[in-house]
Amino acid sequence: MTMDTLVSFAEAMERYEPVIGLETHVELGTRTKMFCGCTTTFGAEPNSQVCPVCLGLPGSLPVVNRTAIEYTIRIGLALNCEIASWCRFARKNYFYPDMPKNFQISQYDEPLCTNGWLDVEVEGRTVRVGIERVHLEEDTGKSLHVGGATGRIHGAEYSLVDYNRAGIPLVEIVTKPIPGTGADAPVAARLYVTELRDLLRSLRVSDVRMEEGSLRCDVNTSLAPRGASQWGTRTETKNVNSLRSVERAVRFEIERQAAVLDAGGRVIQETRHFHEDTGTTTSGRSKEEAQDYRYFPEPDLVPVAPPIEWVAQIKAALPEAPVARRARLRAEWGLSETDMTALSNAGALDLVAETVAAGASPGDARKWWLGELARRANDAGKELPDLAITPVQVARVAELVEAGSLNDRLARDVIDAVLAGEGDPDEVVEARDLAVVSDESALTAAVDQAIAANPEVAAKVRDGKVAAAGVLVGAVMKATRGQADAARVRELILQRLS
């Protein structure tokens, strides 16, 4: 199947109905691994966070991480799931270099959480995404294929394996099939993962950084002719690692599968790889069924039976759901739905809320985070939360501007200095002497000097052409290195030339 044989998305939607489903893997933010005491710090030296248990050495025995069980229950409750009163782990058997034991400890027919749902707003309507299961397992190691053009094992000169990630608690959240989204299917997939990410972040169970692999998504897509009584054969696009790519993967699979069906072909049930550079998928391997993994109960672990009282305590401590929080903040801040969506899409909602809590007005907090700071984050290739400035510091900048101690230009200089590690806003203002010039005599002298240096402009202002005063304001601002209050300078100019 080549790019030339794709069917346009609009044409595909005329003849076919998509059904999507998503399997999302979430690395839990526990201090230690799922079955051993190894730490889970991201980015550590390869193979420096391993032990006999997570390397699967003979004689080693796993012990369940209680915090991981609690986090999984927290996720299940937030997704309106039923929590099992008794469940157990199983061995999922397969050989791959990044699975050191040649099996993965997972859950199969007895998951911890089942039968939940998550509502997602898609193009003005609510889509209820059913949650089939939320189960707990251990993550695999990470392979690095060196040489070749694709970064995959085929064509590589050799491969390296880092087992630091092997054994980190991993929750898999599996949706039920999601029919009825039609042409909105690609957007619905992206918005579901977005809402799920926000929910997980609010629960403080994971940092859900897709770029670091702590949130990974497999996207299932199938097509059937409109009006058909059965769904089509699905493909599973593996390890899609950005929200945008979730949408692109669904869109491409719809266009590709429509071309296969139009040509009288048959869609093969298989896993597929998504290519970020082209937005396309390519065939991986035929999809295994459960029996291919030879599941059987994990003999080295006792069943998990969370007490009802413990589950009730976890439920009582759940934070406000993101959808409810957004509605509350939108009302408190007087924002439109569009403004709130912009905040959420920029990853700025929490930052703005913390800045408001530190004393800034909602308008000022939004202005700085979505304006200057968003631009700086984009220039640096970073997310907003990763900038070296805190909501408290942003609130202080806004306070200094409100008090007249800084103007917007000086405030931008202060923000640059804070980002560069020069200290808090007050320290920067003092060290750089950035405060607004408030001495009236000094301002008046600067105004008189600007008027004397620009007699023709001054004459226009005297003749009633007030707009010309902008030239004189600019001259004063230049003379004061931007440290004058522009509004006050304009007042003084008009007074002197009246």
Q: What is the pLDDT of residue 448?
A: 66
Q: Name, in order, each residue with C-beta under 8 angstroms of 227's C-beta and a sequence gap of 6 or more.
A: none
pLDDT tens for 7-21 read 999 999 999 999 999
Average pLDDT, integer, range 127-149: 91
Average pLDDT, integer, range 203-219: 91
Average pLDDT, integer, range 380-385: 84
Average pLDDT, integer, range 482-490: 65
Q: Where does residue 364 rank: exposed (0-12), middle (13-18), buried (19+ CB within 10 A)?
A: buried
The answer to whether the CB of 249 falls within 8 A of the CB of 274 is yes
pLDDT band per the 50, 70, 90 thresholds, residue 429: confident
Q: What is the pLDDT of residue 440?
A: 60
pLDDT tens for 303-333 read 999 999 999 999 999 999 999 999 999 999 9
Average pLDDT, integer, range 277-283: 89
pLDDT band per the 50, 70, 90 thresholds, residue 481: low
Question: Alpha-carbon distance 132 to 110, whole Å?
Answer: 12
The answer to whether the CB of 397 falls within 8 A of the CB of 428 is no
Q: What is the pLDDT of residue 344?
A: 83
Average pLDDT, integer, range 41-45: 91
Q: What is the pLDDT of residue 255?
A: 96
- Which pair of structure tokens corresponds to residue 353? 């809320």
Question: Alpha-carbon distance 354 to 350, whole Å?
Answer: 6
Q: What is the pLDDT of residue 18?
A: 96
pTM for this entry = 0.81
Q: Given a cut of 90, is residue 205 above it in pLDDT?
A: yes
Q: What is the pLDDT of residue 144?
A: 87
235-240/270-275 β-pairing: parallel
Q: What is the pLDDT of residue 381?
A: 82
Task: Please give the mean pLDDT across all residues of the chain.
Answer: 88
| Closest residue by Cα to residue 112 from 348, 339, 304 | 304
Check residues 247 and 290 and name the one with the higher pLDDT.
Answer: 247
- Give 217's strand partners: 24, 240
Q: What percent of the chain has pLDDT over 70?
A: 88
Q: What percent of the chain has pLDDT over 90?
A: 61
Highest mean pLDDT among 82-91, 338-347, 456-465, 482-491: 82-91
Q: What is the pLDDT of residue 231?
A: 93
Check residues 462 and 234 and name the one with the higher pLDDT.
Answer: 234
Q: Given a cut of 70, is residue 402 above it in pLDDT?
A: yes
pLDDT band per the 50, 70, 90 thresholds, residue 2: very low
Maximum C-alpha span of the chain? 95
Q: What is the pLDDT of residue 103?
A: 92
Measured CA to CA in angstroms, residue 330 lies from 202, 280, 341 at distances of 17, 38, 10
pLDDT band per the 50, 70, 90 thresholds, residue 480: low
Check residues 146 and 472 and name the one with the higher pLDDT.
Answer: 146
Q: Backbone dihedral region of 206: left (phi > 0), alpha (psi from -120 to 50 degrees) or beta?
A: beta
Highest mean pLDDT among 128-142, 375-389, 456-470, 482-496: 128-142
Q: What is the pLDDT of residue 491?
A: 67
